[in-house]
Chain A
Amino acid sequence: AQRVTQPEKLLSVFKGAPVELKCNYSYSGSPELFWYVQYSRQRLQLLLRHISRESIKGFTADLNKGETSFHLKKPFAQEEDSAMYYCANTGGSYIPTFGRGTSLIVHP
């Protein structure tokens, strides 16, 4: 069975500092990876898809098959980035498995 691991439950940084939220996956086939974000009192929403190689709200994520990772990065954190971030892999079944989430807190 595939697994998605987010080792940090909480990440606390100051505004303007770089941010890296870690995500590792275990899957024998080709992964299909996503990052989702949940702001306070809002729905879970899509942030990034690895297939699109896009930058959203200054965030980027690169798939590293050698390290089986899909870490989310932002060079300069903003207070409005404070939220729960979930990494997900759909794998070959196209049924998403989510990690436990990382709470990002950006202090002023």
Chain B
Amino acid sequence: EADIYQTPRYLVIGTGKKITLECSQTMGHDKMYWYQQDPGMELHLIHYSYGVNSTEKGDLSSESTVSRIRTEHFPLTLESARPSHTSQYLCASSDVTGLSYGYTFGSGTRLTVV
């Protein structure tokens, strides 16, 4: 079934560790996005991609990096995790405009840095 998958769902990690949050979609969407969301709060765009080899920074300054080597895969990496990175990270994808079917979101990764 066409969908968007995020792993892991939950992650507790120590300060200073390098982590990669995985996001894959099987819908053939060109555009992918990463949002940061604290519980019950607004979504902040941190990265997006128009397609392979395209990555852009979003509105929220972030110490994370992303890559888009394959259409279906858009991982987010934190080189050195800090407690301030504790949050929920949502991955989403859409066709070129997102107007026809909206934006499809994954289940999220809840990250806790201790």
Q: Which residues of A contact B (CB under 8 A)?
A: 1, 32, 34, 36, 43-46, 49, 51, 84, 86, 88, 90, 94-101, 103
Beyond the given A90-B97, A95-B45, A96-B33, please list 15 additional residue pairs across the A-B interface where CB-CB is below 8 A.
A1-B59, A32-B98, A43-B105, A43-B106, A43-B107, A45-B105, A46-B103, A90-B99, A94-B94, A95-B48, A98-B42, A98-B43, A100-B41, A101-B40, A103-B40
A44→B45 contact, CB < 8 A:
no
Q: How far is the CA of A95 from the CA of B41 in the complex (A)?
A: 19
Interface of B is mostly: loop
Please name the residue on chain A nearest to B108 by beta carbon.
A43
Size category of the B interface is 20 to 34
Instruction: Please give, as numbers and ranges, the residues of chain A lying within 8 Å of B101 by CB-CB distance.
Output: 46
Q: How far is the CA of A60 from the CA of B48 in the complex (A)?
A: 30
Q: What 7 A-B pairs have minimum CB-CB distances, sorted nearest first?
A: A46-B102, A100-B42, A44-B105, A98-B43, A94-B97, A43-B105, A43-B107
Instruction: Please give, as numbers and ranges, the residues of chain A lying within 8 Å of B105 by CB-CB distance.
Output: 43-45
Please name the residue on chain A nearest to B90 by beta carbon.
A44
